[in-house]
Structure 1
Amino acid sequence: MDDAREHAPHGPHNWGRWGPDDQLGALNLITPGAVMRGLAAAREGRVLSLAQPIEGATASGRPARVPHMAGRPLPQHYMAVDGGDQAAGAPSLPGGRRVADDALVLSPHGTTTHMDALCHMWAGERMYNGHPAGRVGSRGASRLGVEHAAARGVLTRGVLFDAARHRGAARLGPDDRVGAADLEAMPGARLLAPGDAAVVRTGWPLAWEEDPGLYRGAQPGLDGSAVRWLAARDAAVVVCDNTGVQALGADGGPVDAPEDDAHLVLLWRHGVPLVEMARLEGLGSELAGAGRADFLLVVAPLPVGGGTGSPVNPLAVL
């Protein structure tokens, strides 16, 4: 780590801000004061899940009904123990009890609501905070794995930026970009404080219901000015309902230059975890009806040792 500063990105970044060994990144901004501010944003006690259901398992024969990226392996869910197994002669438990048990295999990136760990993407030979990129291998990441975010968890104020509603649309179009000027013009801009979670709704999951082919093509998202705006305001987490936070081209790849790439600006430069593929339709409607933009957000990643990400079920408490 002695030469980490030599590898630090040009321009604003958080490398070294919380010490040379830091593996939490912007989650350090969720101080006790930020937690209490989040708790105060829960006014009614009603809870909404912001997660997509995990469905579309190839093993079950069920059609893929949930948005996912092309080329990514679908989740596979099957029963490790079921009633049919037991009816075929497997012994029952004492007292005649029967059980069923699940087996689930999934790759969270691109197939379900998930959090990107800080080891998910980087540039050159160094990850966030100067940790060597060689620490990520086939057996997992020995630096910046998602287990660090899991140990800390996310309990803070969520601030909604409903970009689709701001433009008077149910969803944005595939070529739409959300810039800093758009964020500045939304009610959440007056609320967002260090340690808050910025939650951006594009409405893109609705495109899947219209045409899965449309969903898998180019898609809307944040541009470079927007991700720099969020980083400068010390957002602790960024949540979005598209597959990559940033805008993507028809080939599924980023359309922005590296200096504008959301993953490089937020994950690599500033250590801001990303929650992708959230479902925000209900949240958008509820907050618009109440004339507010804030709520309590709770996100608990799974403690996958060395994981580059984790499926999550974000909870909004209104």
Structure 2
Amino acid sequence: MLNHRSVLLIFILGLFVAPYPSFAAEPSQKKWWPSEWGSDDQLGALNRLNPTKVLQAASLIKTGKIYDMAHIFEEDMPLFELTPEDRKYTLTVPGAPSWGPMGDNQLVWNEDYIAGHLSQDGTQFDSLSHMATVVGDVKNLKDIRYYNGLSHADIGSGRGFKKLGVEQVKPIFTRGILIDIAGYKKRMLACSEEISVADLKAALIAQGQSEASIQPGDALFYYTGWGALWKTDNKKFNSCTPGLSAQAGDWLVAKKVVLVGSDNWAVEAIPGPDPTIFAPNHQKFLVENGIYIMENVDFRSLLADQVYEFAFVFGAIPFKGATGSPARPFAVR
């Protein structure tokens, strides 16, 4: 039987392999384009990052302490998988040493290669080509629409996207906000538990902030406690996710954030409360509003120091035409 994660992967892979429908019965009737930044825009919400916003983020740096927000990429990390046989991650150093010795100084060196998926494993970043919405006939690639209304027929390719690839994402330096939902509730959130707007507001108050703390151009992160399962219970980690309700997603859209990140593999509750709607926050963030997503973020060091506001730094690896990137984000305080 297909679980919700399998359905999501089949939908994503289907965009490249064959024009088969997702489990949604009816196409979307909503039109979300052109973007507020123009019909040619590929950058999305990152248009909000201007020099003033960068300087605001820089002003938060008082101690010079750097906080790593990425998990180590390794073979025993949880893998975003259809079945255990479908998803692998291996790093190989051929020869070990790979070359040499060379010259009278007898120099040897090593190289390596990785076999695995480019994105969706480890701490990772979704670009705007990661998700699309069917607006008509699912067999018509022109009716599969991405951010700014771009159609799969025009930009999609099995060899990478002609537009909206991750190479379009400029380096990010902005103000970051971390909301400790698990700390506010004093427990790890449950499988499929939704985070409401009221939860977000209450957690902000509990950590000495307020609703007004979230400002346009911010990168917004939240901690569910699910990250404690990383490499301690991969099966449970992969089975489902707690996360933002659809209403909470709308609230963050209205706040004009540029990125939303969490400590699990989705920025929403999966399975969600409505079996006919899948991953609405992915849809409203990536497709409709150009807001980027970061998943499997490691907040342990930030939480240990109770750092909830910081300068956030990230650069996606510019693989041309890719739908995402492995991520090494960090915070500076």
Q: TM-score range with shorter-chain normalisation? A: 0.7 to 0.9
Q: How does 1:90-239 map to 2 (within 5 A)?
A: 91-124=101-134, 125-134=144-153, 135-149=155-169, 152-169=170-187, 171-187=188-204, 188=209, 189-239=211-261
TM alignment of 1:1-318, pairs within 5 A: 10=30, 15-56=34-75, 64=76, 66-71=77-82, 73-83=87-97, 91-124=101-134, 125-134=144-153, 135-149=155-169, 152-169=170-187, 171-187=188-204, 188=209, 189-249=211-271, 258=277, 261-287=280-306, 293-318=308-333
**Displacement of 1:74:** 2.5
Q: Give 1:246 deviation, angstroms.
A: 1.2
Q: TM-score, normalised by structure 1?
A: 0.84
Cα separation, partners in 2 of 1:286 and 1:294, compared to 1, 3 Å: same
Q: CA RMSD in A?
A: 2.3
2:241–2:266 Cα contact (<8 Å) kept: no
Q: Can you list the C-alpha shifts for 1:98-138, whole angstroms capped at 9, x where unaligned?
A: 11111123314432111101010010222111111221120
Question: Which runs of 5 or more residues in structure 1 are unaligned?
Answer: 1-6, 57-63
Per-residue deviation at 1:258? 4.1
Distance change >3 Å, CA 284–CA 82, structure 1 → 2: same
SS of structure 1 residue aligned to 2:91: strand
Between the aligned residues of both structures, percent identity stands at 29
Distance 1:29 1:9, change over 3 A: farther
Structure 2 unpaired stretches of 5+? 1-26, 135-143
CA gap 1:136/1:77 in 2 versus in 1, 3 angstroms:
same
Partners of 1:158 and 1:276 lie apart in 2 by: 15
Count of matched residue pairs: 289
Q: CA deviation at 1:139?
A: 0.7
Q: For residues 8 and 282 of structure 1, do their structure 2 counterparts lie closer, same or farther at Cα, with a shift above 3 Å needed?
A: same
| Structure-2 separation of matches of 1:116 and 1:254 | 24
**Structure 1 residues 16 and 234, CA gap change in structure 2 (3 angstroms):** same
Q: Residue by residue, what CA displacement relative to the aligned partner does 1:154-191 show, whole Å, maximum 9, x if unpaired?
A: 1000001111111112x222132112111122325331
| Higher alpha-carbon deviation: 202-211 or 128-137 | 202-211
